[in-house]
A and B are shown apart, each in its own frame.
Chain A
């Protein structure tokens, strides 16, 4: 089992989670538009990070090409809405089915002959790049010119999932909450136990009668479907869909930075990680643009990523938890062996 850093009894954790979301809801109803749109992206990447984390943290399969599923979701919503005026709800549903099937096909292709680990991870990148290039040349979906949603009128249309920035903030908030609750529920269900067993020791799980081949396909297709839902909303929020930004390698990286930086296998990790990484990236880009030095943001962001993985190997959230515990019982700070014994 992965260590649980969240600590505390059950009810306390649910309460803490509820508090966080109430605070975030207040933020959404009062803050200024720029902040709202930044937070919307943060929350969406929290959800995408959760979907990625389901695959690695619970299913034990590393994907570094999650942009494939995100892009499929965004394009399903985009094509149906922009070309045919069909509600994004149906687009989201269709996108989840398409991405789930593609994920399952990819998993089948790879796990048939026990190809796994880093090989599978490289395959996910290759598949995402293949899709990106195909979509870049496919006139029907806008090719390199992309797809544009009509400008929002500001009126909230729930059935068409259209509204202003504040509306999308709450959509993203709901999605992030759904992601956290969903991950919790899945990890406690029968499937959660089976998938964790499979992650920790595949031969042993198989010896106990788990059909690991099917379950690996299942966990990947569930994760892919969730990523597609996030991608569909991301497309709506951004108002446009370009193959390079929605299916590019940069997006795959952004998806997994949240959970890894925040703390893998923790409930709040993806939120904290996205909260730290995305505004930082925006800030660096703004500074680089202001000084008219392209590339400055890359340097700063790159260095920060290396330093975080170097000095906070478990991520930010476990470090915060440890700090809080240390404040409660200061002796832990200078008696680290006590802490070790406890863990």
Chain B
């Protein structure tokens, strides 16, 4: 019994790290630009398709697929910000909401036209292999995804803290006007931010491509999951996104063990409401939003 619980806990933590990466993308974009990316789930699904095709066409290892997704999605996010999103950064939230809903409809439409509505199971054999570590038996695909996500989160944290661009990002997040005064190139910082956010989503998508069937309709679920994760962790907080991802991942895994499947999907929301009763701004929420 104990080993069953340990297994469930471990697989929850592993998937939670990937959720954390998705949420990190959302939270970085929000923290710097004060924009909520409602098309985040579509970006995750782009990543899933990149992973799917990389494995299918070149039989690429999942790390390579993730690297491709990172590069492609970074430029995608960069261009999207520079061409469209930047025009709406200073508009009220409900206008941004409509724009992002428009983008998300557009993206899911493109995915539907390109790949059709049917789910495509991954060609990767990774999800059938396991690693045994004493008490727990881990699914190799999850383990690889989690390690990659964990390393990336750590690298991103170091990069944001110590590189000059990372400092610029944090400065713009703290005080946009101040950043402009000291000569930050705010439009470029915003475009890079959006690129990083999109890359996080894309990489997470590529990493989970062996676990989920590639399907355009996954996008809404991922968007909502990312929202719940960042609200639980605290919108705009780096460590909050990570912790939120772990909490949601573990909660989902435990719920899958104890309840019916529909309860499993409802649990993150129930958890969110419970957490908001006690910590209204999430674990690491900023004082003023």
- A interface with B by C-beta (< 8 Å): 56, 62, 64, 109-110, 112-113, 115-119, 121-123, 125-127, 129-130, 133-134, 136-137, 249, 253, 256-257, 260-261, 264, 293-306, 308-310, 313
How far apart are B223's CB and chain A's nearest CB, in angstroms? Answer: 8
State which of A109, A127, A134, A309 has its C-beta within 8 Å of the C-beta of B98: A309
State which of B99, B113, B117 has its C-beta within 8 Å of the C-beta of A299: B113
How far apart are B29's CB and chain A's nearest CB, in angstroms? Answer: 12
On whether the beta carbons of A295 and B269 are closer than 8 Å, the reply is no
Check: B87 CB closer than 8 A to any chain A CB: yes
Nearest 10 Cβ contacts at the A-B interface: A295-B112, A298-B109, A302-B105, A302-B106, A305-B102, A137-B262, A299-B109, A130-B269, A306-B102, A113-B280
What are the interface flags for B74-90 relative to A under an 8 Å C-beta threshold, 1 for contact and 0 otherwise?
A: 00000000001001100
- Which of chain A's residues have a CB closer than 8 A to the CB of B263? 137
On whether the beta carbons of A130 and B266 are closer than 8 Å, the reply is yes
On whether the beta carbons of B280 and A115 are closer than 8 Å, the reply is yes
**Residue of chain B at shortest CB distance from A257:** B98
How far apart are A100's CB and chain B's nearest CB, in angstroms? Answer: 19
- Which of chain B's residues have a CB closer than 8 A to the CB of A294? 112-113, 116-117
On whether the beta carbons of A119 and B235 are closer than 8 Å, the reply is yes
Check: B193 CB closer than 8 A to any chain A CB: no
Check: B289 CB closer than 8 A to any chain A CB: yes
On whether the beta carbons of A110 and B280 are closer than 8 Å, the reply is yes
**Residue of chain A at shortest CB distance from B232:** A126
Most buried by B among A115, A306, A308: A306
- Which of chain B's residues have a CB closer than 8 A to the CB of A119? 231, 235, 281, 289
On whether the beta carbons of A295 and B108 are closer than 8 Å, the reply is yes
How far apart are A45's CB and chain B's nearest CB, in angstroms? Answer: 15
Check: B140 CB closer than 8 A to any chain A CB: no
- Which of chain B's residues have a CB closer than 8 A to the CB of A302? 101-107, 109
**Residue of chain B at shortest CB distance from A125:** B227
Bound-complex Cα distance A25 to B102 (A): 33
How far apart are B277's CB and chain A's nearest CB, in angstroms? Answer: 7
Most buried by B among A56, A130, A136, A257: A130
Give 6 new A-B contacts, CB below 8 A, not counting A256-B97, A298-B112.
A109-B277, A123-B276, A126-B227, A295-B110, A305-B101, A313-B91
On whether the beta carbons of B269 and A129 are closer than 8 Å, the reply is yes
Bound-complex Cα distance A118 to B34 (A): 9
How far apart are B284's CB and chain A's nearest CB, in angstroms? Answer: 14
Chain A contact residues: helix, strand, loop or mixed: helix
Bound-complex Cα distance A304 to B101 (A): 11
On whether the beta carbons of A260 and B98 are closer than 8 Å, the reply is yes
**Residue of chain A at shortest CB distance from B223:** A249
**Residue of chain B at shortest CB distance from A131:** B269
How far apart are A220's CB and chain B's nearest CB, in angstroms? Answer: 15
A-B contact pairs, 15 of them (CB 8 A): A113-B281, A115-B281, A122-B231, A123-B231, A129-B224, A136-B262, A137-B260, A137-B263, A260-B98, A295-B111, A296-B109, A305-B98, A306-B84, A306-B99, A308-B98
- Give chain B interface residues in 229-249, CB to chain A under 8 Å: 231, 235
- Which of chain B's residues have a CB closer than 8 A to the CB of A304? 102
Bound-complex Cα distance A305 to B99 (A): 7
Check: B270 CB closer than 8 A to any chain A CB: yes
What are the interface flags for B28-67 relative to A under an 8 Å C-beta threshold, 1 for contact and 0 otherwise?
A: 0000000010000000000000000000000000000000
Bound-complex Cα distance A62 to B93 (A): 8
Bound-complex Cα distance A308 to B99 (A): 9
On whether the beta carbons of B106 and A306 are closer than 8 Å, the reply is yes
**Residue of chain A at shortest CB distance from B96:** A309
Check: B265 CB closer than 8 A to any chain A CB: yes
Bound-complex Cα distance A256 to B99 (A): 12
Given A118-B93, A294-B117, A126 contacting B269 (CB threshold 8 A): yes
**Residue of chain A at shortest CB distance from B113:** A295
Given A306-B102, A309-B102, A64 contacting B97 (CB threshold 8 A): yes
- Which of chain A's residues have a CB closer than 8 A to the CB of B266? 130, 133-134, 137
On whether the beta carbons of A260 and B105 are closer than 8 Å, the reply is no
- Which of chain B's residues have a CB closer than 8 A to the CB of A117? 93, 289
Given A118-B36, A136-B262, A126 contacting B231 (CB threshold 8 A): yes
- Which of chain A's residues have a CB closer than 8 A to the CB of B269? 126-127, 129-130, 133
**Residue of chain A at shortest CB distance from B38:** A64
Check: B273 CB closer than 8 A to any chain A CB: yes
Bound-complex Cα distance A130 to B263 (A): 10
**Residue of chain B at shortest CB distance from A307:** B102
On whether the beta carbons of A298 and B281 are closer than 8 Å, the reply is no
On whether the beta carbons of B95 and A309 are closer than 8 Å, the reply is yes
On whether the beta carbons of A260 and B94 are closer than 8 Å, the reply is yes
- Which of chain A's residues have a CB closer than 8 A to the CB of B91? 309, 313
Check: B272 CB closer than 8 A to any chain A CB: yes
On whether the beta carbons of B231 and A299 are closer than 8 Å, the reply is no
Bound-complex Cα distance A294 to B111 (A): 10
Bound-complex Cα distance A253 to B99 (A): 11
On whether the beta carbons of B106 and A109 are closer than 8 Å, the reply is no
Check: B73 CB closer than 8 A to any chain A CB: no
- Which of chain B's residues have a CB closer than 8 A to the CB of A115? 276, 280-281, 289
**Residue of chain A at shortest CB distance from B35:** A118
State which of A118, A249, A296, A301 has its C-beta within 8 Å of the C-beta of B113: A296
